[in-house]
Structure 1
Amino acid sequence: MGVSLNLRSSLVLVAAFTAVVASTDANLDGFQVKPFKIDLAAEIPRLNSLVANSRLPAKALYPDGGSGERGIELDVLQELRTDWLTNFDWEAQQAELNTFEQFTAVIEGLTVHFVHEKSADPDAIPVILLHGWPSSFQEFLPVIKPLTESWRSPIGKNISFNVVVPSLPGFVFSDPAPPNWTLDDTARIMNTLMVDVLGYSTYALHGTDWGSGVGYAQYGTYNTTVRAAHFVFIPFFPPLAQDIAENNISLSDDEKVSLQRTIDWNATGNNYFLEQAAKPNDVGLALYDSPAGQLAWIGSKFKVWSDPRAGTPPSVLDNTAILTSVSLYYLTDSFLSSVWIYGQNPNAFRVAYTKAPTDAPLLFSQYEYNFGLWPKEFVAKVGNLVSYKFHDFGGHFAGLDNPPAFIQDIRDIGLYFEA
């Protein structure tokens, strides 16, 4: 039975791949495009053994009252660890991940993993969604298929997307970046993926966290192919309270919450950034074979950077989502290579705001509990801003924090996109 099942799976995989290839102008020969399925189940017994045999303190040494300001709280970590061992089903999550069409391509010698889901609409807009750290392509899975479906705008325009979600170099199923690799290099291969591999002459993009640095580089450098961009985060340090006051910008009560998040991040929240930028090997090697350690390090970011209501509708950022993310990092041995994006790009986020050399529309969405506030007046300094929205639910991981709002954010691109 095992042979026949494997044969049937192979035939289904080939048929699906053939159908996708037939409906695109993908360059298969030059870039060695191959269908991809996730199969990491064989590693789960060892992961579970390591988690089960990891020791945690019996009680918190210095309880902080639930603030998380000094790192992940012991009871939060204990709850996540217990869920990992008793409730989490990797095979179910893997099956869900594999419902998306995935491929690899070799670009400049790097194997790049990506999801490519196409709309039935021949006029669908190509869009690439770019994740950051400690996220992965998983962040956007709740929004991919809805974006491929046609939406009729208030002005009567039908809008849908061909959605591409890559894994950045060094993240999960993509190869680690070579030495001295920068965000500009990643931007180049992402543009190659869209234009030369997949055959899209023009496209739109979305970026968050490190993906915003990559996307912003694409937005300015490849300005004839990138014809619209949406961000929830930009590679410029958010203004301080003094900067906002000096520019005579009045903030709403919700925006003041976002500003406080900026203040908190600047005070104690960015220490991980300094560590990973200066000594990526220290944390990368220390946690390389410690799933419980990665859970503490990554889990704290998901907990603190998200909306406090995370896990309640419309958020889908629950413990299962966090455990899936950490499992992907651990099972692909990519924690070390992922933190090196900091070591290779320590100065990627800028203080001085400069405008990208493009007339392509720029859209921005501020989620209240993101850890930075970028007022409209500051976002307008970096591109051709045509839309600025504020969402009072959601944080740093918009695709998981508030999928309905994020879907509408991306659909708004269609109101401005011109091929």
Structure 2
Amino acid sequence: MAEEAVQPFRCDVPDEVIADLHDRLDRTRWPDQLPDADWDYGTELSFLRALCDHWRHDFDWRAAEARFNAFPQFMTEIDGEQVHFYHIRSPEPDAVPLIITHGYPGSVAEFLDILGPLTDPVAYGGNRRDAFHVVAPSIPGYGFSGPTRQRGFNIARAAKVNLRLMERLGYDRYIAQGGDWGSGISTAMAAMQPERLIALHLNFIVGFPADPANPLEGLTEKEKAAVAWKENYDLHEHGYRIIQSTKPQSLAYGLTDSPVGLAAWVVEKFKTWSDCGGNVETSFSKDQLLENIMLYWVTGTINSAMRLYYEGNGPGRAPSQLAKVNVPTGYAFFPAEIRPTPRAWANQIYTNIVRWTEMPKGGHFAAFEQPTAFVDELRAFVREFRSGR
């Protein structure tokens, strides 16, 4: 593909890929599990058996493909990497351009239920003045973007890809939104080319204390409790990050070869990081979980997805202090978010926070778990910027 070319794309997985998946599911060699272990040691055995039984016998991949193909998708090449993206033009001519970026272990599957309401609010009972032209890329290395081809593809390079993509599509000014890696990518976009961004909206935000020697100074009791929770979380839940930041290749052999291994590794994060009260199916259906997992399976991208951790956090590659961001910033804090950053800490990076909303329910995969609340909050944030863009 020529560097400047943009080509239409449709999800169309060959039958033999699905047949191979079914064969592997049929031949699974299951591990043992201690009595009453529940999820303490990782993904619980009976839940995973039920999920994979549904995957083998009831999950309809062709119906999932139809959901993915319901909106226009495209492929292009930027910085030597293949980039898959949704580009949905609103029927409203004065719609605001928006680029929204997913994270790990998610994908553009997270956005399937918000693309329609964002681009055509009238069709979903909303106001035409809340319309967006939406661009939703698959981060290079994820899903249909395919595996990355070069060493060193990190958040900064992903941000440059997004900036170049919006330029290629003819958008000079736009909103950037993101969670997880998408938050870091959108933030880097704002730091690199602030003149391009009308505003920045995040559902995952980072920061650091103004005085590292006294990190809790000036925090409310609620914020202090959140910091303590985060410290405990990091102690018990960050093993995946350490592995993926140091030896992702070793892990990738098992996850690329075994669909059950891949499902176990991915679904545990959706359970732990969602506002599900211990039952992941109160936040996501089996089909939703599998649609996301399938984007990793059929493209063989779990290795390159994990490599993003290595390139950003691995040995000798610890991220430097983030640049200041002066772009108007909004933050939606969903209560089960795994990084409950105090606002005073976020202010050390984001110097122009104009909206900080505590959402009633939801977690790390906000658009996926709480699509209506996510859309409503994003619309409310952007309204004040529409007239002056």
Which residue of the other structure, out of 18, 24, 29, is the alignment partner of 1:44? 18
Match of 1:13 in 2: none
Q: Is the Cα contact below 8 Å between 1:235 and 1:349 reproduced in 2?
A: no
Query: Is 2:69 aligned against 1:110?
Result: no
Displacement of 1:213 after TM fit? 1.2
What does the per-residue CA deviation read over 1:6-64, in whole Å, with 9 as the maximum and x for residues that have no partner?
xxxxxxxxxxxxxxxxxxxxxx986211100001142111101101110224x622533
Q: Distance in 2 between matches of 1:37 and 1:86?
A: 25
Question: Larger deviation: 369-378 or 267-276?
Answer: 369-378
Distance 2:86 2:322 in 1: 33
Q: Find runs of 4+ consecutive structure 1 residues off by over 3 angstroms.
A: 235-239, 242-245, 258-261, 309-312, 347-354
Q: CA deviation at 1:248?
A: 3.1
Kindly provide the amino acid, as one letter, of the partner of residue 239 in structure 2: N
Question: 2:361 maps to what in 1?
Answer: 393
Deviation at 1:311, TM superposition (A): 4.0
Match of 2:347 in 1: 380
Unaligned runs of 5+ in 2: none
Aligned twin of 2:192: 221
- Kindly indicate whether the alpha-carbon contact (under 8 Å) linking 2:208 and 2:345 is maintained by their aligned counterparts in 1: no
The residue correspondences of 1:253-264 to structure 2 (distance < 5 A) are: 262-264=230-232
Among 318, 329, 337, the alignment partner of 1:362 is 329
- Please tell me the root mean square deviation across aligned C-alpha atoms, in Å: 2.6
Report 1:86-97 matches (<5 A).
86-97=57-68
How far the C-alpha of 1:70 sits from its partner, in A, is 2.3
Q: How far, CA to CA, are the matches of 2:320 and 2:3 in structure 1? A: 40
Q: Secondary structure at the match of 2:114?
A: helix
TM-score, with structure 2 as normaliser = 0.89
Q: Which residue of 1 aligns with 2:237?
A: 269
What letter corresponds to residue 171 of structure 1 in structure 2?
Answer: Y
In the alignment, which residue of structure 2 is the partner of 1:189?
Answer: 161
Q: Distance in 2 between matches of 1:302 and 1:342?
A: 18
User: How many angstroms apart in 2 are the aligned matches of 1:140 and 1:237?
Assistant: 30
Encode CA deviations 1:142-162: one digit per residue, 9 max, x unaligned. 1111011247xxxx9922100
Give the distance between the partners of 1:105 and 1:90, measured in 2 at CA. 25
Letter of the 2:118 counterpart: L
Counterpart residue number, 1:12: none
1:41–1:91 contact (8 Å) kept in structure 2: no
In the alignment, which of 241, 266, 280 is matched to residue 298 of structure 1?
266
**Map 1:15-34 → 2, pairs under 5 A:** 31-34=4-7
Distance 1:243 1:363, change over 3 A: farther
Tell me the TM-score normalised to structure 1 length: 0.83
Q: Percent identity?
A: 31
2:222 corresponds in structure 1 to: 251
Give the deviation of 1:413 after TM superposition. Answer: 3.4
How far off its partner does 1:236 sit?
4.3
The answer as to whether partners of 1:216 and 1:234 remain within 8 angstroms in 2 is no
- 1:288 paired with 2:256, answer yes
Call closer, same or farther: CA 1:218–1:340 in 2, change over 3 Å: same
Q: Choose which of 179, 199, 208 in structure 2 pairs with 1:208.
A: 179
* Residues 1:134 and 2:101 aligned together: no
| 1:402 to partner: Cα distance | 0.6
Name 1:171's counterpart in structure 2. 142
- Runs of 5+ in structure 1 lacking a partner? 1-27
Q: Give 1:391 deviation, angstroms.
A: 1.4
Aligned to 1:406: 374
Matched, 1:328 2:319: no
**Counterparts of 2:238 and 2:214, CA distance in 1:** 20
Are residues 77 and 175 of structure 1, via their aligned partners in 2, closer, same or farther at CA, if it must alter by over 3 Å?
Answer: closer
Contact 1:361 1:416 (C-alpha < 8 Å) held by counterparts: no
- Residue of structure 2 in register with 1:22 after alignment: none
